[in-house]
Amino acid sequence: MSAFVAQSIQSKKMSDTKKTILITGGSGYVGTHTVLEFLQDGTYDVIVLDNSSNSIMEGLRRVEEMTGKKVPRYQVDLIDKQAIQGVFDKHKIFCVIHMASLKAVGESCKRPFFYYKANLFSAINLIEVMQENDVYNLIFSSSATVYGPPKVLPLVETLETGGCTNPYGRTKYFIENIFRDVCTVDPKWNMMFLRYFNPVGAHESGIIGEDPMGVPYNIMPFVAQVAVGRRQEVQVFGDDFDTPDGTGVRDYVHVVDLAKGHLAAMKKIEEKSDVQPKIYNLGTGTGISVLEIISAFEKYTGKKIPYKMAGRREGDVATMIADASKAGRELGWKTERGLKEMCETLWNFQSKNPYGYQGKEQQ
């Protein structure tokens, strides 16, 4: 708690002229890259709220080192409404980017109660505190998973959502619905949902990147851990999907492009709009298969990636590809980093940080 007090005193000296953005979950993978882009852009002041233990705060510490700027951060669990209020007491917040979320699909299937409680209580407490403090600008980190198994491709924002195949996805779907209903009845709300497709890669410096806990559920960090010798081989879950090579096809988006998407979204949310909520897919519009990922990684890094075929995982679908044209038109956002940069930056981070931020094998 003393750290909390120290941070809050420090934070009182933030710029008086810049608007302050609160990023929940700002010490995570997408969070750190987004904080970095915001600090480098310089338009906004940024504060971070996260329930992570200090060891996991290493990513944000590195962002501070890279930029020479301090980021006020609060170790607050969003399940604790009073603690959220404490942060709002100390800062005049213009907009919240709500990224904080339990997000491991596999874990959510094993511990659904834990996921529902954490993600739903967090979202509901957060918007309640926002309302009580007259803060009505909200950007919510949603996910392509809200579309459920695609009936048509590419996935466009106007499609019906639902039919999600795992508890994690359902939490995102439920929260979108709650937020939509809330902003539909109260015109003070200004909300945006960003539906991430598959974030991959790392900052080009190799200083920050993804640091998954336990066995990665997603293919890219799995490949990188095999490349660095932490795991023997990649398991390819399903080779009998209705796709060109039989493996799952996803729309991978470079985390730096994704981070820049938040900056574009932030500038957009400052325009008043009657359309509530505004919803944008953040993807590239291009599908890449698991085998293409493995082969690209080998090509761009020179590392051999052994793999073996395994059965499908429950709930995995054949193909997810974004129609990302709306974000292009309305946010002026387009991705600039392709498969080459995804592989190279991931490998750059992984080879410099073979065991992630901890520097050793995690339990």
Single out the residue of 29, 136, 174, 222 in contact with a second copy (rule: CB under 8 A): 174
CA 335, CA 112: separation in Å to the nearest integer? 34
d(CA 349, CA 207): 6
Residue 177: CB minimum distance to a second copy, A: 6
Are 123 and 136 in contact, with CB atoms under 8 Å apart? Answer: no
Residue of 62, 91, 98, 170 interacting with a second copy (CB under 8 A): 170
Rounded least distance, CB 100 to a second copy, Å: 17
Residue for token pair 């359902």: 170
Q: Which stretch binds a second copy (CB under 8 A): 45-53, 176-184, 210-218, 219-227?
A: 176-184
Query: Which amino acid does the sequence have at 318?
Result: A
Instruction: Catalytic residue, from 29, 74, 115, 168: name it.
Output: 168
Contact 156, 281 (CB under 8 A): yes
CA distance 254 to 335: 8
Q: Please identify which residue in 8, 67, 131, 358 interacts with a second copy, judged by CB under 8 A.
A: 131
Question: Of 160 and 274, which CB lies nearer to a second copy in the complex structure?
Answer: 160
Q: Can the peptide bond before residue 154 be classed as cis, meaning omega within 30 degrees of 0?
A: yes
Considering beta carbons, is residue 133 or 351 the nearer one to a second copy? 133
Nearest CA to 224 among 343, 315, 73? Answer: 343
Give how many residues touch a second copy by CB under 8 A.
Answer: 25
* Site of tokens 């919240």: 96
In whole angstroms, the minimum distance from the beta carbon of 146 to a second copy comes to: 12
Among 64, 80, 128, 330, binds a second copy (CB under 8 A): 128
Q: Residue 19 or residue 117: which is nearer to a second copy going by CB? A: 117
Q: How far apart are CA 238 and CA 125, in angstroms?
A: 39
Does residue 147 carry a catalytic annotation?
A: no
Check if the beta carbon of residue 171 is closer than 8 Å to that of residue 157: no
Is the Cβ of residue 79 or residue 153 nearer to a second copy in the bound state? 79
State yes or no: residue 187 binds a second copy (CB under 8 A). no
Is the distance from CB of 281 to CB of 56 less than 8 angstroms? no
Task: Yes or no: say if 234 and 300 are a contact pair by the CB < 8 Å rule.
Answer: no
Binder among 178, 246, 328, 354 for a second copy (CB under 8 A): 178
Residues 99-118 that bind a second copy (CB under 8 A): 109-113, 116-117
Find the part of the chain contacting a second copy (CB under 8 A) among 126-134, 251-259, 315-323, 353-361. Answer: 126-134
| Residue closer to a second copy (CB basis): 184 or 362 | 184
Joined together, the tokens standing for residue 272 give: 């008043």
With CB under 8 A as the contact rule, the residue among 42, 162, 244, 311 that binds a second copy is 162
- The reply to whether 206 sits near a second copy by the rule CB under 8 A is no
What are the two backbone dihedrals, phi and then psi, of residue 14, each rounded to the nearest 5 degrees?
-75, 165
How many Cα atoms occupy the beta-carbon half-sphere of 225 within 13 Å? 24
Residue of 120, 156, 159, 309 interacting with a second copy (CB under 8 A): 120
Q: Least CB distance from residue 138 to a second copy, whole Å?
A: 13
Tell me if 92 contacts a second copy by CB under 8 A: no
For the chain, list the strands marked E by DSSP.
19-24, 44-50, 73-75, 93-98, 137-143, 190-196, 198-200, 234-237, 249-250, 252-254, 278-282, 288-289, 307-310
Q: Is the dihedral of CA 143, 127, 36, 205 positive or negative?
A: negative
184 binds a second copy (CB under 8 A): yes
| Contacting residue, 150, 163, 328, 338, with a second copy by CB under 8 A | 163
Residue with smaller CB distance to a second copy, 40 or 184: 184
Tokens for 191, please give them.
């909300």
| Minimal distance, residue 189 CB to a second copy, in Å | 10
Positions marked active-site: 168
Please report, as ranges, the residues that interact with a second copy according to CB under 8 A.
Answer: 109-113, 116-117, 120-121, 124, 127-128, 131, 160, 162-163, 167, 170, 174, 177-178, 181-182, 184-185
